[in-house]
Structure 1
Amino acid sequence: MDRSKLGWVVIVLLTLGWFYMGSQENEKMRQAQQNYADSLAAVQESERVAAEQAKTMTVEDLKRADSLAMAAKSAALGVFASAADGSENLVELSNSVVKVVLSSKGASMKSATLLKYKTYDDKLLELFRDDEMSFNMTFPMTNGCNLNTSDLYFSVKSKTDSSVVFSLEGEGNASLDFVYSLSEDSYMVDFDVVSHNCSYAFKPEKNIPLVWKNKRRQLEKGRVFENRYSKLCYKDDDGIQEMSEESNDQATAQNVKWIAFKDQFFSVVLISDSLMGRSMLQSEKLSDSTIYMKDYMANVQVPFNQSASFRFFIGPNWYKLLKSYDKDLSGDDKLQLKRLVPLGWGLFRWINQLIVIPLFDFFGSFISSMGIVILLLTLVVKTLLFPLTYKSYLSNAMMKALKPEIDKINQKYPENSPEKSQEVMALYRRSGVSMTGGCLPMLLSMPILIALFCFFPSAIELRQQSFLWAEDLSSYDAIVTFPFSIPLIGDHLSLFCVLMTVTNLVYTKYSMSMTDTGTYQQMPMMKYMMYFMPLMFFFMFNDYSSGLCYYYFISMLITVIQTLLIRRSVDDEKLLRKIKENREKPVQKTGWMERISEIQRMAAEQQAMQKQNGANNRR
């Protein structure tokens, strides 16, 4: 067998081995869950039979029945059988920013309230409550059954202002402790699991199953928009991974550092000190529910050697806060929780991180009105882009000055042809007009516009901040609400979106008048397309953040004002003299212009050959 075939055989064997190991692990998890289900069913059936028989039993019979029921529980739960019965006690941990209520049943969090935030209808913001979140760890026992923490009653072993210890106490001094700690002014809840004297009760497994679920309620005014930014995210060896926000999705991962159940502005994140093993993740979109948006589930294998340590982040998707958790960390140790804030990818994210956010934070440090902050941010951006705007205007003005000569070329070549394009290019070249002068500045400014498009909908600083008629700059500003939904528009009309569209149409008309060289008369569809784009943006942005529409409106309004001021400052006679001077200078072709000329020349030759061949065929 040659090396090539041997290599393929090795690859196939490794692949089959990987699938086999994965299937064995899945089967192990399924078997553990089935064993627990069978054990629990046996206990419940025993309790049901005992209850039926109790109606006709004597006192002695009842004593014997209780003994049998206890024996059944002992068989299933071993030394922790007494924890199967009990009453639920609630314990509260709170600081200045978050309040967490924990239940002794399952020793898990029952609710979490963010004290500095409210819902869109001015209620306390409970990130989860009641049965919206569940948390369970399954410990395989030496008797062949499984201990499921979510169904057992823990006792409160100790309680301070900042911590609580829940203990599952068993026979022989065996205990399983769940320890929760909350520091002052922190959104992080430390969570430790510690076993004591459990070596004879628990199997010595390296990993134990952990199942975490959370149903996310609608917290913002715009459900569609909020749902667009709600997704399950996690960090593994390959970096930050995001599951689909638009449809149901599943994923399997290894070596997971953290798992985040995220919505537009808030997240609950489970962070493990040790990398979690095989993780099965699921996100379900609840389209039929009027209350809930997403149902998240994480079924993971967590390392456990008598103890395991975790942290829960329960708080806002605030870039500055999330970035602070990487302070004094480096390389792979960084959590990268700041990636939960969708600032765009690549260049756009860098623009937001290095320019937009620092400017926004600077203005916000001494100005309380977010509307004024956006205005100042817009002025700074437009000032930086002004040289490009000025260059674009000059290029368009020079093209307009050449319109009489271009009209002559259009009369000479009524139809579009390579010869016509060559003459227009030659005219621009002789006159010193750049073909890209009008569009290149706009293209260079696009990264900033796209970066801001990503920034505004994810900026929690805008959440519930009012300005003028807009009650919430993070959501749409409905001046008209319809009792029905209109296709492409929805059930409301956003005033900032309307103003943005009108200003865009005005600028489009003015810009077209500056660059009209006869192209729009020959290709009327292009003219209509120019007007179609602002209208398309109206349908796109009607349910977007009013802060974003406000920025685009102000930005376009400033562009119109800048263009009018430039027009008043530019001397048309001086511009014509400059064109005349350029024609007297020797033409210097750039590499790009030479390539364009060569392409046009080849196209003209090819068209001439096609005409000649057509004439020969007709003969």
Structure 2
Amino acid sequence: MNSSFKIVLVAAAVFFGMMLLNKPKEKEAQEAQTNEVAVQESAQASMTDAELALIPSIVREIGVRDTTGGRESFSYRTDAVALNVADGHLDGTISVDSFTVAVDSALVRHFPVEMNVTQQDMAYNTLVKELKEIGVYRKFASLRKPVPSADTVRLENDVLAIEFDAHGGIMSKATLKKYKTYFASKTDKNKIDSAQVEVFSPADRATYWFKIDYNNNYVDTHHLYFTPRQVNDSIVEMTVDLGDGARWGYRYTLPQGESYLVRMDVIQHNTQNVLPQNTTQMGMAWKMELPRLERGLTFEERNSGIYYRYFGETPDNINGNSSKTEKINHRVQWLAFKDQFFSTIMLPRKGFESGVVQQQAYKVHPDAEHIKFLAADMVVPYSATDEIAASFDVFIGPNLYPLLKDIDVQLGVDDGLSLTRVIPLGWSWLRWINTLIVIPVFTFLSGFVSNYGIIILLLTIFIKLIIFPFTYKSYLSQAKMRLLAPEIKEINDKYPGKENAMVRQQKTMALYSRAGASPFSGCLPLLLQMPILIAMFSFFPSCIELRGQSFLWVQDLAAPDVIFTLPFSIPFYGKEVSLFCLLMTATNIVYTRINMKNQPSSSSMPGMKWMMYLMPVMFLFFFNSYPAALSYYYFLSLLITIIQTWIFRRCVNEEKLRRKMAENAARPKKKSGFMARLEEAQRKQQAALREQQKGRRR
């Protein structure tokens, strides 16, 4: 194949095929999840006599004391269970639906005859679960009940707004104020419904919690209700009162201005009599359903997932359409839940010690609201004696290369964080093209031109100017081969048949040598262009600046430019029709035709013609769901190449080129060592062939 563009697209086609092979088996995952839930629901809770014997003393410890009537009693209540302890005896009630049953009766499964089996099991399991958790949580038990709170607590600056939830004391919702979603309207596909981007929210089941070492057990903080305190416009504290002046919680700090970094400190005060003082580690769990934020689904699925970096190493990831669990056995510097253009990155000041990360990819339909489930169960260093037990920097924002690169400076990390690696800019040996050339030029042009369609045009021209010498050299090579075509045909006609193959090859190579031409001289320029073309294939789907940018008929350059929707679906193509993809395909066919005319060997291989024209049609299927900016760039690149070819054809005087080739042929040439060895090998091969033919005649 004569075009480097086609080679790049072949690589894209292979990648597309791999993507199809890696589709998650949604049915199997759903069945496994259903079976797991069924097993959990069918399992009966149980409680030993030893565990039950501890409950009265625990209720005395955590319950509300009452001395009415001169008799001391303690009570503890939740939504379903009411417990009382007086004179060391435990009683109370459990409420299920409209039934209220005494605790003593429920523990021996003695229920009213009006209760069905399901209600009886629910009452028993609820009671046992509550009693067991009281045994675990003790002083924390009362913190598991909702507390009245005022309005939603928020922190916000010019670019980021954070909402907090008292249940778990977490950041429950993060909104990017300068970025919007660009989904097609459900009532009119030609219109866009936009809203501010929510990186995570309660609708995504987004949560995180810590596991506090307490009473030989672990208390999960997402079961606790925290008390919020707005310190100032930049700081919010979420704490739980453990009694006797002991407090534990979080302090969140969001700097004013245009900062996407939230500082999260785990704070504690006077906890030495409540929590063990020899603890050096603390568990942290983090999970969420990754929301769909982009109109173009192909690259959002492919470029989202879990990213993490071992100290001093290149970041690793689980992305694409795979469902996978990975165990982390070494220290990790940061952990990211990443969407195509936005990320939430946890950066513990002392790193993560170890952990497990998991990704479950969904089989996403066009109207899906979530694309993946991400989870991490990590271990972080913990200081039991310090006021700040652990500290995190949390990045919540866009995957913008200059911004992520600047985080290293903001956090003062000497050896760097490599956060820019969450942006997929190609393989390591090609990535430098984007980071050192394409992104700086793109950013520079963005400072002067507001229309990103024009910026892509200027960027394409800039790249074409860089590779112009290689393109020109490739055309000259094709022109020389075209001029030599009649003489090559004469050699082929003079030495026909397989028995003359070596002679034909020798004569042809001698002709090339005399004329100063080579059939391979045009390959090197094409190979040198390939890295740039592949780098651009990675750059445009990762360029967040293109989100929501319109150009001509395109509403969003980061998504497919759908001009109409078919009433039926075509395999590997879909229903939606991308116009730039059609233009790219048509231009590619024209370029293929021009290129074949410039190749003298094309007429001798008529069987290849249909294959050459088939490839652009195949890529029509592959690129239809890709971002409009990518198809637009390849369309421009091909169009400029066609124009360059026409200009070369007009400007290059083939008669002068023929005379120059004749002059080269007239000059005495000193054979290079390689050519001498090649000709010697050909002579030996030809001699061996003659000996073999003589042996057959005998």
Corresponding letter in the other structure for 1:379: I
Rounded Cα–Cα distance in structure 1 between residues aligned with 2:566 and 2:339: 27
Query: Where does residue 91 of structure 1 map in the other structure?
Result: 153
One-letter amino acid of the structure 2 residue matched with residue 323 of structure 1 = K
Structure 1 residues 602 and 95: alpha-carbon distance in aligned structure 2, compared to 1, 3 A threshold? farther
- Decide whether the 8 Å contact of 2:303 with 2:319 is kept in 1: no
Structure 1 residues 71 and 242 mapped into 2: Cα distance closer, same or farther (>3 Å)? closer
Q: How big is the shift at 1:37?
A: 12
2:265 maps to 1:187: no
Cα offset, 1:538, TM superposition: 2.1
Normalised by the length of structure 1, the TM-score is 0.86
Contact 2:326–2:357 under 8 Å retained in 1: yes
CA distance in 2, matches of 1:181, 1:484: 52
* Correspondence for 1:50: 93
Residues 344 and 70 of structure 1, relative CA distance in 2, 3 Å threshold: closer
CA apart distance, 1:458: 0.3
**Larger deviation: 107-116 or 323-332?**
323-332
Mapped partners of 1:401, 1:571: distance in 2: 12
- Indicate conservation of the 8 Å contact 2:296/2:627, yes or no: no
1:488 to 548, 572, 584: 572
Q: Structure 1 98/586 Cα, relative in aligned 2: closer, same or farther at 3 Å?
A: same
Cα gap change, 1:174 to 1:440, in 2 (>3 Å): same
Q: Does the alignment pair 1:211 with 2:285?
A: yes
The answer as to whether partners of 1:117 and 1:124 remain within 8 angstroms in 2 is yes
Counterpart in the other structure of 2:452: 370
Match in the other structure for 2:621: 539
Q: Secondary structure at the match of 1:246?
A: coil
**Within the alignment, does 1:236 sit opposite 2:236 as a pair?**
no
Q: 1:488 to 1:573 in 2, by over 3 A?
A: same
- Given the alignment of the two structures, is residue 249 of structure 1 paired with residue 249 of structure 2, yes or no? no
Q: By how many angstroms is 1:542 displaced?
A: 1.4
Q: How does 1:317-396 map to 2 (within 5 A)?
A: 317-327=399-409, 333-396=415-478
Q: 1:610 to 1:99 in 2, by over 3 A?
A: farther
Q: Name the structure 2 match of 1:262.
A: 338
Q: Tell me the matched-pair count.
A: 569
Match of residue 414 from structure 1 = 496
2:236 maps to 164
Matching residue's letter, 2:321: E
Distance 1:483 1:70 in 2: 55
Structure 1 residues 513-524: aligned runs within 5 Å: 513-516=597-600, 519-524=601-606
Q: Which residue of 1 aligns with 2:71?
A: none
Task: Confirm or deny: 8 A CA contact 2:93 2:101 kept in the other structure.
Answer: no
Shift of 1:97: 0.7
- Structure 1: distance between partners of 2:670 and 2:129: 98
Q: 2:223 aligned with 1:223, yes or no? A: no
SS in 1 for 2:465: helix
Cα-to-partner distance string for 1:520-578 (whole Å, 9 max, x where unaligned): 34433333333233233322211111111111111111111111111111112211111
What are the ranges of 5 or more consecutive residues in structure 1 without an aligned counterpart?
Answer: 1-35, 59-67
Moved more, 232-241 or 45-54: 45-54
* Deviation (angstroms), 1:110: 1.1
Tell me the SS of whatever aligns to 1:366: coil
The answer for the alignment partner of 2:191 in structure 1 is none
Equivalent position amino acid for 1:87 in 2: V
Given the alignment of the two structures, is residue 135 of structure 1 paired with residue 197 of structure 2, yes or no? Answer: no
How far apart, CA to CA, are the structure 2 residues paired with 1:37 and 1:199? 33
Distance 1:428 1:37 in 2: 89
Mark the CA change 1:329 to 1:582 in structure 2 (over 3 Å): closer, same or farther: farther
Give the alignment's Cα RMSD to 1 decimal.
Answer: 2.9
1:500 to 584, 598, 621: 584
Note if 1:560 corresponds to 2:642: yes
Residue 275 of structure 2 is aligned with which of 191, 202, 221?
A: 202
Q: For 1:50, what is the secondary structure of its paired residue?
A: strand
Task: Work out the CA distance in 1 between the residues paired with 2:652 and 2:476.
Answer: 8
Aligned position for 2:112: none
Whether the 8 Å contact between 2:546 and 2:556 is mirrored in structure 1 is yes
Q: Which residue of 2 aligns with 1:425?
A: 509
- State how 1:136-151 maps to structure 2 within 5 Å: 136-141=209-214, 143-151=215-223
| Structure 2 CA distance for partners of 1:299 and 1:72, relative to 1, 3 Å | closer
Distance 1:165 1:467, change over 3 A: same
SS of structure 1 residue aligned to 2:344: strand
Q: Counterpart in 2 of 1:283?
A: 359
Counterpart contact for 1:256–1:279, Cα < 8 Å: no
Q: How far does the alpha carbon of each residue in 1:509-530 deviate from its partner, in whole angstroms, 9 at most, with x for none?
A: 11211121xx334433333333
Of 317-326 and 527-536, more deviation after overlay is shown by 527-536
Q: What's the offset of the Cα at 1:199?
A: 2.5
Shift of 1:86: 2.3
Cα distance in 2 for partners of 1:88, 1:532 equals 68
Look up the match of 1:24.
none
Structure-1 separation of matches of 2:546 and 2:153: 34
Q: What letter corresponds to residue 152 of structure 1 in structure 2?
A: L
Q: Distance in 1 between matches of 2:297 and 2:650?
A: 47
Distance 1:74 1:490, change over 3 A: closer
> Does the CA-based 8 Å contact 2:93-2:100 persist in structure 1?
no
Query: Could you say what secondary structure the match of 1:466 adopts?
Result: coil
Alignment match, 2:247: 175
Q: Larger helix proportion, structure 1 or 2? A: 1
Change (3 A) 1:73 1:407: closer
CA–CA separation in structure 2 for the residues paired with 1:569 and 1:344:
37
- Residue 637 of structure 2 aligns with an amino acid whose one-letter code is S
**Cα distance between partner residues in 2 of 1:172 and 1:449:** 67
SS at match of 2:95: helix
Deviates more, 1:229-238 or 1:530-539: 530-539
TM-superposition CA deviations, 1:281-322 (whole Å, max 9, x none): 001101166221010000001110030000111111110110
Q: Is the 8 A contact 1:47 1:69 kept in 2?
A: no
Task: Report if aligned partners of 2:326, 2:356 keep a CA contact under 8 Å in 1.
Answer: yes
Conservation of the 8 A alpha-carbon contact between 2:81 and 2:95 = no
Q: Deviations over 1:565-603 (max 9, x none)?
A: 111111122111111101111224345544554554455
Q: CA deviation at 1:161?
A: 1.0
Structure 2 residue matching 1:347: 3-state secondary structure:
helix
Q: Which residue of 2 aligns with 1:6?
A: none
> Do the aligned partners of 1:81 and 1:170 also contact (CA within 8 Å) in 2?
no
Match of 1:452 among 512, 525, 536: 536
Distance in 2 (CA, whole Å) between partners of 1:46 and 1:611 is 100
Q: Structure 1's 408 and 280: CA in aligned 2 closer, same or farther, altered over 3 A? A: same
Q: Which amino acid aligns with 2:505?
A: S
**Would you say 1:76 and 2:136 are equivalent positions?**
yes
Q: Which residue of 2 aligns with 1:301?
A: 379
* Alignment counterpart, residue 272 of structure 1, candidates 348, 353, 359: 348
Kindly indicate whether the alpha-carbon contact (under 8 Å) linking 2:169 and 2:226 is maintained by their aligned counterparts in 1. Answer: yes
User: Tell me, what secondary structure is at the counterpart of 1:221?
Assistant: coil
Pair 51,532 (structure 1): closer, same or farther in 2 beyond 3 Å: same
Does the 8 Å CA contact 2:95/2:101 hold for their aligned counterparts? no
Counterpart contact for 2:296–2:558, Cα < 8 Å: no
Deviates more, 1:479-488 or 1:159-168: 479-488
Amino acid at match of 1:264: Q
Amino acid at match of 1:436: F
Report the secondary structure of 1:400's partner residue.
helix
Inter-partner Cα distance in structure 1 for 2:280 and 2:334: 19
| Aligned-partner Cα distance in 1 for 2:542–2:469 | 30
Change (3 A) 1:398 1:323: same
Partners of 1:227 and 1:70 lie apart in 2 by: 41
Q: TM-score, normalised by structure 2?
A: 0.76
Secondary structure in structure 2 of the residue aligned to 1:333: coil
- Distance in structure 2 (CA, Å) of the matches to 1:163 and 1:577: 80
Distance in 1 of aligned mates of 2:181 and 2:237: 32
Instruction: Measure, in 2, the Cα distance between the counterparts of 1:37 and 1:255.
Output: 39
Structure 2 residue 166 is matched with structure 1 residue 104: yes
